[in-house]
Chains A and B, each alone.
Chain A
Amino acid sequence: MSSSWKMHPVTQLFLARFREFIRQPEAVFWSYVFPLVMMIALGLAFRSEPMEAISIVVQDGGGAELLAETLRGSKSLIVSSGTELQCRQQLRAGQSELIVVAETNNSAAGYRFVFDPTRPGSIHARDVVNDVLQRAAGRQDPLKTTDVAIAEPGSRYIDFLVPGLIGMGLMGGGVWGVGYAIVDMRIRQVLKRFMGTPMKKPHFVAAMMFSRMIFMIPEIIVVLLVSRFLFGVINHGSYLNVMLLIVLGAFEFAGIGLLIASRAKTLEAVSGLMNLAMVPMWIGSGIFFSAKRFPEFVQPLIGLLPLTPLISALRQVMQEGAGTIAILPEIAVISVWGVLTFAVAIRIFRWE
């Protein structure tokens, strides 16, 4: 009977959550628009150009004009010039990768490269400039080499970024959506009021969880569509696997949100706890750059953070087309987090 389904407490609690959510335009805006803005901004900032010209600067002085003219002969260089002070400033500001100085104090022609050896761009610039100058001075390369350009699908930064942002959205949505809502209800004494009715606690928790999963779906669809049409990001795996990961991720972070909110009495307390939980994952779980960049000894720890396996599995599916079997270890870690946090949260939950 449809009316008994409609009057089930889980349905009604879910509807209440859903109505509260959609009747709060700012909440809808932030959960749906923020990930998009982030993706578009980062996608534009880190877009992969087929051939990127290198900016370098020639320091004023004897022989500087000739030097600059030689370098301008190369298409891969953008050459400017300036005083020593200006050069240093350009280097610092990242406007130039390299300072080139013509040596004048000895009889043989020579050049000095000034750069920061920790900047990969600067090392590349040094090699390119060196080649150009050596060839101009008459160097003959003994070996003949040929370049073949290919495009590996899913290898751009934006392809890497989109699964990371989906993971971040799942984390933020779950932790904030559940954590904040629960503490708010506790403060308003709504939880206590519910405890005075025959409402069953698992019904309440289930409704919070379902509402999280449902709210996530449009958010993810929007991110996938916009990334597809704006940046050509293609899912190389099955959409069923993406969906599975999204549902599991929503479940996992709803559990974490529930745990964080299980005892907090004020919004300030819960905000602090939520940030405490999320900051390590923002940094460590590989949203914006690979988590593999961290030293070897912290890798086991990073791998166990709730967000790391989720993003890693999403990338395997979307970038490499991995199947369900390949992501089973990640699915296991995500599920353990979800089940564990729910179990602990329900045990220690404060209803009043």
Chain B
Amino acid sequence: MSLAIECRQLTKTWPGNPPVEAVRGVNLQVERGTCFGVLGPNGAGKTTTIEICEGLVQATSGDAYVLGKNWATQADEIRQEIGISLQETRLSEKLTVLETLTLFRSFYRSGMNPEDAIAKVSLQEKSNARIKSLSGGQRQRVAVATALVGNPRLLFLDEPTTGLDPQSRRDLWRIITEFREAGGTVLLTTHYMDEAERLCDKVAIFDRGRILAIDTPQKLISDLGAEHVVVFTVSGESAAALQDDFGISLPGVISVRIESEHRCLSVREPHIAIPALLALINERSLRLTSLTTRQATLEDVFVHYAGHRLTDENSGAVR
């Protein structure tokens, strides 16, 4: 069975002064019937990559095949089979939900009834309401419905839940999961690690136009070698003078990093590392002001690869 998406050595350089290398050699393969997550901070090249796959942006070099077809020669056939939701589309506020979906349905040779698309995103009672009167979460569901109305085999969602409240995010997760369970393929970008862990069979971590790692979320976490994170803060006279890698030499500690005032230790066995840490703090006459432990997440994976937190927005490239 052919792949849903295959990218080979994709690059994209936006002309300008200086030119911006948004994508610098991306290879990725998305299997049919899976949900693939593209993670990374703003400016990592996620949107550019997804828009190349959507046929909206032309790659500077490299190939992108979608559903076994080539954008150069079979663009219209690909468009009949994909559904997309852009990062930011403001649909016409004067139209109703049903009118909007009927419009989008008219572009496709085949697809579902506009009413069915509305039902898929649970907006039946808003069918005749104007877009203007909808909340942010409801608008996003309409946007996803416009992607579903052509009965696509492949769904592209660019940051579908950014800026939404928790309930709206869960609503969208349900829609995405249902689509995938019905055999559809999903490519989504997000910068929420929890979203990726929950929805995606596989994720690619992007940073500065490159892929740092591709695998299942579980594999990426276990590959860290440290599935737990110990987060603590200390105070005391010598606290300010502590070195950044304080704690690195303790038993079972894989790596150390600082997140604002917190120090985070990635550890394999917390029951060995924590007593050793407490002893060290005592020895240096420091005072422990907080201590928590948690499971390692994709965020720790990202930090491990990229060396900085996902919420940092200081990377160089543009969206």
Contacts and interface: CB of A to CB of B under 8 A. Distances in A.
Q: Is the interface of A mostly helix, strand, loop or mixed?
A: helix
A197 B82 CA distance: 8
A198 B86 contact: no
B294 interface: no
Given A12-B102, A199-B107, A193 B86 contact: yes
A192 B89 contact: yes
A196 B80 CA distance: 9
Contacts of A190: 89-92
A20 B90 CA distance: 14
B86 A12 contact: no
Nearest to B132: A23
A197 B91 contact: no
17 contacts: A9-B107, A13-B106, A16-B103, A19-B94, A19-B95, A19-B99, A20-B92, A20-B95, A23-B130, A189-B89, A190-B89, A193-B84, A196-B84, A198-B79, A198-B108, A198-B150, A199-B107
A41 interface: no
Contacts of B251: none
B111 to A, nearest CB: 10
Contacts of B54: 196
Given A12-B106, A189-B86, A192-B86, A198 B80 contact: yes
Contacts of B240: none
Interface of A: 7-9, 11-13, 15-16, 19-20, 23-24, 188-190, 192-199, 352
A15 B96 CA distance: 12
B79 A197 contact: yes
B233 to A, nearest CB: 44
B45 to A, nearest CB: 17
B105 interface: yes
B99 A15 contact: yes
Interface in B62-102: 76, 79-80, 82, 84, 86, 88-92, 94-95, 99, 102
Contact of B104 (A11, A23, A189, A197): A197
B55 interface: yes
Contacts of A15: 99, 103
A189, A193, A195 pick with most chain B CB within 10 angstroms: A193
A24 B89 CA distance: 21
B279 interface: no
A297 B146 CA distance: 57
B133 to A, nearest CB: 12
B56 A352 contact: yes
B79 A7 contact: no
Contacts of B198: none
Nearest to B90: A188
A190 B84 CA distance: 12
Contact of B106 (A8, A20, A23, A188): A8
Interface of B: 54-56, 76, 79-80, 82, 84, 86, 88-92, 94-95, 99, 102-109, 130, 146, 150
B56 A192 contact: yes
B81 to A, nearest CB: 9
A191 B52 CA distance: 17
A194 B56 CA distance: 10
Nearest to B114: A7
B73 to A, nearest CB: 15
Contacts of B105: 7
Given A16-B95, A189-B89, A193-B146, 18 more contacts: A7-B105, A7-B106, A8-B106, A13-B103, A16-B99, A16-B103, A19-B94, A19-B99, A20-B92, A23-B94, A24-B94, A190-B91, A190-B92, A192-B56, A193-B86, A195-B56, A196-B79, A197-B79
B86 A16 contact: no
A197 B150 contact: yes
Contacts of B86: 189, 192-193, 196
Contacts of A9: 106-107
Contacts of B109: 198
A352 B84 CA distance: 15
Rank and list the top 10 A-B pairs by shortest CB-CB distance, nearest first: A12-B106, A188-B90, A198-B79, A196-B84, A197-B107, A199-B107, A23-B94, A20-B94, A193-B89, A189-B89
Nearest to B109: A198
A197 B108 contact: yes
Nearest to A197: B107
A196 B95 contact: no
Contacts of B106: 7-9, 11-13
Contacts of B84: 193, 196
A148 B56 CA distance: 74
A16, A20, A190 pick with most chain B CB within 10 angstroms: A16
Nearest to B96: A19
Nearest to A196: B84
B113 to A, nearest CB: 11
B54, B91, B106 pick with most chain A CB within 10 angstroms: B106
Nearest to A189: B89
A352 B56 CA distance: 8
Nearest to A195: B56
A298 B82 CA distance: 55
A194 B54 CA distance: 12
A22 to B, nearest CB: 9
B89 A16 contact: no
B221 to A, nearest CB: 34
Contacts of B89: 188-190, 192-193
A8 B108 CA distance: 10
Nearest to A187: B90
A15, A20, A197, A199 pick with most chain B CB within 10 angstroms: A197
B48 to A, nearest CB: 12
B12 to A, nearest CB: 14
A95 B90 CA distance: 57
A16 B96 CA distance: 10
Nearest to A9: B106
A339 B7 CA distance: 41
